[in-house]
Amino acid sequence: MKLLKFPWLVLIKILKFMKIPDLINISLTSRRLREQYTNEINPGQIEIEICNYSADIWIGEFEIKFSSFTTDDIAPIGVRTIGPFTFNVFCLFGDENKSWETVVEDIYTPCWTLAQYYMTIFPKAELGLFCCQDELNERTLQLLSSWDLDLFKEKLFKFPVESENNKNLANQYCKKNHMSAIGYHWDKINIGTKNYGEVESKFRFSDCWLSDKYWTNYVLVSGLKIGIEAWRDLIKTWTRGKLNELVFVRASVVTGLNMLEVTEGFLTHIWNDEEMAKFEERTHFSAYFEQKGTIIHNNFGRKASLHFDQENSIFTMVVWNTRVFKKCLFLFPEIQALF
């Protein structure tokens, strides 16, 4: 192969500028090229998004969509091969170098097979986001149970409130991951989870917000070292009215937290039973009503209480007059089951 005649540094530079499909396919032609060169390249994160009618996989900026059907306005570009697959391809978004679509009977299996193949070719690539949307049938859920979703740094699940199967799948990863953000929007639940590996010190609560921070209702954090600036950023964001639908934040395994330092400069005061009496009917939060935390106000008249249980190393923020649907508040007992 002529490529192998180039000096190592020159060859690596050439490979880095290759289109992803070409880079993958050329690695198949030479074991030496694959083992000595392409495994030194990180083409970007690998991400997967699935729903009832399609499964998308990205590697860096290159996307392949496996669809149950396609539309007439997408241009066919012919037969293409990538890794172990050869199929008829349509061009998405007018650029065949960045996106392909193909119609297949089984949309999920080739997507996952290709992800595994990418990881073999590019061991430095990271599995970033796995996104699961819509109500999934039993067959799909069974297939997902065979996928090692723990390999993905982030998981995002969007499903109807009544979907017990999807909820159970999402809850499984909420309990295993460092951070979970849960939101209720238009009769759908959005659950995002994330693992931080060895970079705990970089955690920020801004990582927790779902695609629209106004959809974020509950945030659960466990086993992370949270710096003082992260705590203050959470409170600052809320006091400025950017989290008007936030209901509850809970962080466990919290040590060495100085509440005076956390709240310095914010409008706070000690708990007042008379002032808070109107919220006593919120029986979901009765335990926190009894704990009588520090009251904090935001710029739009909302009240929250901050609680730090030093003995059990748990920090909690409860927003008492948040702007959410009652159905969202009714989720709280299920949220508690994730603690």
pLDDT in the model for residue 201: 53
Looking at the predicted structure, is the pLDDT value of residue 268 above 90? Answer: yes
**Cβ-contact 57, 47 below 8 angstroms:** yes
- Cβ burial, residue 258 (10 Å; 0-12/13-18/19+): exposed
Which tokens sit at 9? 């540094």
Residues 74-91, mean pLDDT to the nearest whole number: 85
Three-class DSSP category at 89: strand
Instruction: Give the model confidence (pLDDT) of 274-326 as tens digits.
Output: 999 998 888 888 899 999 999 999 988 899 999 999 999 999 999 998 877 77
Q: Average pLDDT of the chain?
A: 84
CA distances from 265 to 204, 239, 245, 248, 319 (A): 20, 12, 23, 22, 19
Looking at the predicted structure, is the pLDDT value of residue 208 above 80? Answer: no
Looking at the predicted structure, is the pLDDT value of residue 71 above 60? Answer: yes
CA distances from 256 to 58, 119, 253, 294, 315 (A): 41, 40, 10, 18, 11
Rounded CA separation 261/258 (Å): 5
Looking at the predicted structure, is the pLDDT value of residue 1 above 70? Answer: no
Q: In this prediction, what percent of the chain has a pLDDT beyond 90? A: 29
Residues 71-99, mean pLDDT to the nearest whole number: 81
Amino acid at 202: K
Residues 244-271, mean pLDDT to the nearest whole number: 91
Q: Give the start-to-end residue ranges of the domains of the chain.
A: 196-339
**Exposure string over 264-275, b if 16+ CB within 10 A, otherwise e:** eebebeeeeeee
Give the pTM. 0.85
Strands (E), 104-253: 127-133, 154-160, 179-185, 188-194, 218-222, 248-252
Residues 164-169, mean pLDDT to the nearest whole number: 81
